[in-house]
Amino acid sequence: MARRILVVEDEAPIREMVCFVLEQNGFQPVRSRRL
C-alpha cells in the first residue's frame, strides 16, 4: 500500500515534478494549489 503525502505548491510545474519523484519512490501524492 502506497503512503499518501500532501503536496501544496502554487507553481504547477514544480508541483508536478515533486509528485512525479514521490510516485517513483512509492508514495501516493495528493495535489493542492493552496491550503
- What pLDDT, on the 0 to 100 scale, is given for residue 35? 74
**Count of CB atoms situated within 10 Å of the CB of 16:** 14
- What pLDDT, on the 0 to 100 scale, is given for residue 2? 84
For residues 14 and 2, what is the distance between their CA atoms, to the nearest angstrom?
22
**Average pLDDT for runs of 10 along the chain of length 35:** 94 97 98 86
- What pLDDT, on the 0 to 100 scale, is given for residue 6? 97
- What pLDDT, on the 0 to 100 scale, is given for residue 24? 98
- What pLDDT, on the 0 to 100 scale, is given for residue 11? 95
Predicted TM-score of the model (pTM): 0.85
* Cβ-proximal residues to 28 (8 Å cutoff; 6+ apart), any chain: 2, 3, 4, 5
* Cβ-proximal residues to 3 (8 Å cutoff; 6+ apart), any chain: 26, 27, 28
